[in-house]
Amino acid sequence: MTAKFRNVMQPAGRHRVLVVMGRDVDPARDSGVAIIEEALMRGLRVDVCAGADLCFTAGGAAAEARAVHAAGVAGLALEDPAGVPLARYDAILIRTDPPFDAAALEATLLLEHARGRALMINDPRGLREVNEKLFALRFAAFAPPTAVLREPAAIHAFCIEQGGVCVVKPLDGCGGRGVFVLRADDPNAGVIVDVATGDGRRRVIVQAWLPVTETGDKRIFLLDGEPAGALLRMPSGSDVRANLCRGGCAHATTLTAREREIASAVGAACRALGLVFVGIDVIDGRLTEVNVTSPTGLRELEQLTGRRVQAQIVDWMQARFRRDLRVVA
């Protein structure tokens, strides 16, 4: 295992970074691990913790964190956990998967105690502001016909209005989880809507069908509001989901003029909210999602093109360290 680590020892660099991330990740594909690996190569000190490991005591806000000695496709080599005040960190990288539930809300509120001391990637306020499905609706000119509904009858009616086929998605899902293709003539259409809405008790996103099986789903990475790279994801087999964790295939790609226009508009809004690293999803020139919690695909992009967005992210951090900038209240 350790032979696959690119870094064999954590250097005692001056700047210290905390990465708040899930414990159950695939290091060979996880973008957070790629960023940690790059940070260690640059001489940064890196600690990791889960959102549940944040706390507040008489000494202030702290993390039950584990120092990272090495990182790579084999995973992370970690020290035993130890309490570290958030005030000791120069940057905090927040990468916790949806759903953004009560626990995630509490974590962002605890991280507020590092404001004015650490660079936030991404800003906790922005994470509280942006729902990854609903935020795309702020850019209606770029989004497909979309409704947010919970009443089954209204969902069926909208589907018929859109030509009889729609996509139904949960408001808080990720990785293609809970996504259905709804066809008005499907004998199971009623069952699909009942399951998706919990018999009408919860809202869902309902979007007009876009030709993802023909055009693919393009993930565009934004760094501080600007395009940093892009990846085309194509569904595999009979599955209409292009998510890489669902068997989708990654391909190298370039951006069209329309996609650059979308990236510019969304990027400006994200920058204003302190959302430094973002992944937007575009299908057939239409914006479908704005991923701000834990965008993935950096490993695949590097393998296909050699482009290392993780290096650009660490460049961004180090430039601000040199300027000694900190987020202000």
Please identify every residue annotated as catalytic.
Answer: 133, 169, 219, 233, 241, 281, 289, 291
The count of other CB atoms within 10 Å of the CB of residue 57 is 9
Candidates 220, 216, 222; CA nearest to 230 is: 220
DSSP state of 5: B
Beta strands in the chain (DSSP E): 16-21, 45-49, 54-57, 60-72, 75-78, 82-85, 91-95, 119-121, 146-149, 165-170, 180-183, 204-208, 217-223, 226-234, 249-252, 277-283, 286-291
By the 10 Å C-beta count (0-12 exposed, 13-18 middle, 19+ buried), 255 is classed as: middle
Candidates 254, 255, 237; CA nearest to 246 is: 237
Residue 138, sorted as left (phi over 0), alpha (psi -120 to 50) or beta, turns out to be alpha
Q: CA quadruple 227, 95, 126, 284: dihedral positive or negative?
A: positive
Contact (CB, 8 A) for 258 and 235: no
Contact (CB, 8 A) for 55 and 49: no
What Cα–Cα distance (Å) separates residue 224 from each residue in 278, 313, 324?
8, 9, 17
CA distance 270 to 222: 9
Contact (CB, 8 A) for 22 and 53: no
